[in-house]
Structure 1
Amino acid sequence: MKLQQLLSYTRKAVDEYQMIEEGDHIAVGISGGKDSLTLLYALHGLKRFYPKKFELSAITVDLGYEEFHLEPIEKLCAQLEVPYKIVRTDIAHILFEERKESNPCSLCAKMRKGALNDAVKDMGCNKVAYAHHKDDIIETMLLSLIFEGRFHSFSPKTYLDRMDLTVIRPMMFVDEMDVIGFKNKYDLPVVKSKCPVDGHTKRQYAKELVRQLNQEHPGAKERMFTAILNGKINGWPERTLQKR
C-alpha cells in the first residue's frame, strides 16, 4: 500500500465520523508495532492538507520490559517533526512478578490506557488516536459475540467524559494486509513486543477464525465489516457518507 492510498482511507474515516475539528491537538499512541507507526504516517500526511488544522504529538507507554529499545521511533518522530514522549512504567513487573497473572491482557490494557490518557492530558492534547484497523474491529465483534453474547465492537470515536478526552480510530477502513504492505514498502522501524503472551491470546484466536471464515467463504470478512457499519451499535456516532 502506498502512502496516497493510506491517506485516502484515513480521510474517509475522519470525514465520515467527524474525527477531527479545527484546533485539535491529537496524540498518537505508539506501541512500537506496525499499526501505530502506520497511523503516525497517516496523520502526519493528513495534517499537511486537511482543511481543519490540527497539531500532532506521539506517546509511548513503556511497560518496563528489558531490551525494549525505542531509539528508532525517537529518530522517526524527529524526522517527521512530531513531538514524542515516552512514559516509563512498571506494568510488566506488576503483572508478571508481583501479581503473576495467568491472563494479564485485560488488566494490562486498563493500566496501559490509564497511563497513556494521563500523559495525553499532560501534553495538552484533547484527542488520542488508536491504531485499530478493519481486522481489529471485526475480530472484536467476533470476540464480543462468542464470549459476551452481544453484537459490539470498537467505536470510531468515543468521548471519555471523566478525562475530557476523545478517542479516535482513523485506520478503521484499512485492512491489516495493507498495513503489512505499508510497513514493508516504507521500512517502518518496528520495535517488537516483549510481552510473553503475545500471539497466545483470545484476539489471536479471533484473528485465525476470521482468516479461516474468509478462506472458506470468500468475502465473509467484508460482509462482517459491512454488518458492523450498518449495525447501529450502541455508542457509535452517526456516519456521514460523502458524495464521490
Structure 2
Amino acid sequence: MSALENRRERLEFNKLQKRLRRQVGRAIADFNMIEAGDKIMVCLSGGKDSYAMLDILLGLQKTAPVEFELVAVNMDQKQPGFPQHVLPDYLRALGVPHHIVEKDTYSVVREVVPEGKTTCSLCSRLRRGTLYGFAEEIGATKVALGHHKDDIVETLFLNLFYGGRLKAMPPKLRADDGRNIVIRPLAYCREADIARFARHRAFPIIPCNLCGSQENLQRQAIKQMVREWDGKFPGRCENIFAALTRVSPSQLADRDLYDFKNLALDRSTPSAAGRRDHSDHRCRVNSWVPEDAAVPQHIEALNL
C-alpha cells in the first residue's frame, strides 16, 4: 500500500471513529445511560459489536463530564472448542478490569432443545439471567449490551411478523424484576460502520458458531429484507428507527396505551382552523431540517 493510500485510509478511519463516538455520545445523553459514579458492566461475547462498544466507552471515559467505572464480563458457556484465553489476554493487555463467568449452559441447551432446532433463543435467556445475577453480585449499576441500530430495527419486524406485537429493543431498559438497568450505547450506530471499525481495530473475534447451532433463520430473513430495503431506498432503516422515537399512541389501536373508550367531544376552545393566521404564508425553513443535521449541544457536553 502506497503512502497516499495509507494516509487516505487513516483519514477514513478517523472519520468513522469520530462518527461512532458521536453517535454513542448522543445515545448516552439522550437516554441518560451513564450517570456520575456508575459502575458499567460491559458484556463481551467476543463478537465485533461488544468489542467496539468497549473500545468506544473506554475512549469516552477519558473525556466524559462525569466519572464512571467500566468492568468487562464474558460468560464462558462451555461450548466445545471455546478459546478460553482470547478475551482474558486481550483485556489484560488493555488493562481493563474483567471477570470470566463460567456457567455450563451449553449442556442445558443441548438437553432441552431437540436436535436440529435453533438453540439461540434459550441460550440467550440463560446467558442473560446469569449475567443479571452477576451484575448484582459485583455491584454494577448498569449492564451494557452491544446491540446496534440494525438489531433494533430487525427486532421490531421480528416481533411484528412473527409475534404480532409492536415491540423492539429500547436503548435503555429496566429488567422485569426491577433489579437491573440495561443500556445499549450502540443504539444509534449502524452495523456496517461497526464492522468496518472492528476490521480496522483488528479485534480478536470469536465466532458464534462454536455450539454448532444454525443462526436464527427468522432473524436472518429479516436482516436480508432490511438490507435490501436500505440498498434500494437509502435511509429507510434510519426512517424506521426514527419512527420508534416518535410514537403517537392515539394513532394506533392499543386500548391499554390510549383511552379510546372514554374519548369525548371538547368544543370549549377555538378550532385549529379558527386559530390559524392566514395572513402569514411564509415557509418555515427550520421545519424541513432533520433533527440530526446539526450537532446537538448535549454532544458538545460530552466533549466529543
What TM-score do the two structures reach when normalised by structure 2? 0.73
Match of 1:150 in 2: 165
Q: Which piece of structure 1 moves more, 199-208 or 84-93?
A: 199-208
Runs of at least 5 residues in structure 1 that lack an aligned partner in the other structure:
235-240
One-letter amino acid matched to 1:73: L
One-letter amino acid matched to 2:27: A
Change (3 A) 1:22 1:31: same
Match of 2:180 in 1: 165
Q: Which piece of structure 1 moves more, 206-215 or 11-20?
A: 206-215
Alpha-carbon RMSD = 2.0
Task: Give 1:209's match in structure 2, choosing from 225, 233, 236.
Answer: 225
Runs of at least 5 residues in structure 2 that lack an aligned partner in the other structure:
1-12, 255-294, 300-304
Percent identical residues:
33
Q: Which piece of structure 1 moves more, 222-231 or 47-56?
A: 222-231
Say whether 1:227 aligns with 2:240.
no
Deviation for aligned residue 1:60:
0.9
**Hey, what's the Cα distance between the residues in 2 that align with 1:151 and 1:162?**
22
CA deviation string 1:193-244 (max 9, x = no partner): 113234343211211111122223332212111112222689xxxxxx9437
**Hey, what's the Cα distance between the residues in 1 that align with 2:92 and 2:188?**
28
CA deviation string 1:5-48 (max 9, x = no partner): 32211111000111011000000111110000101101111111
Structure number with the bigger relative contact order (C-alpha 8 A, sep ≥ 6) is 1
The answer to whether the 8 A contact 1:28-1:129 is kept is yes
SS at match of 2:135: helix
Match of 1:17 in 2: 31
The answer to whether the 8 A contact 2:27-2:187 is kept is yes
SS at match of 2:81: coil
**Hey, what's the Cα distance between the residues in 2 that align with 1:216 and 1:174?**
20
The answer to whether the 8 A contact 2:118-2:216 is kept is no
Q: Which piece of structure 1 moves more, 221-230 or 137-146?
A: 221-230
SS at match of 1:28: strand
Say whether 1:119 aligns with 2:122.
no
What pairs with 1:77-116 in structure 2 (closer than 5 Å)?
A: 77-96=91-110, 98-101=111-114, 102-116=117-131
One-letter amino acid matched to 1:18: N
Say whether 1:43 aligns with 2:57.
yes
**Hey, what's the Cα distance between the residues in 1 that align with 2:130 and 2:177?**
14
State how many pairs are aligned: 237
Structure showing greater radius of gyration is 2
One-letter amino acid matched to 2:113: K
Q: Which piece of structure 1 moves more, 9-18 or 204-213?
A: 204-213
The answer to whether the 8 A contact 1:16-1:242 is kept is no
Task: Give 1:62's match in structure 2, choosing from 47, 72, 76.
Answer: 76
Change (3 A) 1:232 1:173: farther
Match of 2:200 in 1: 185
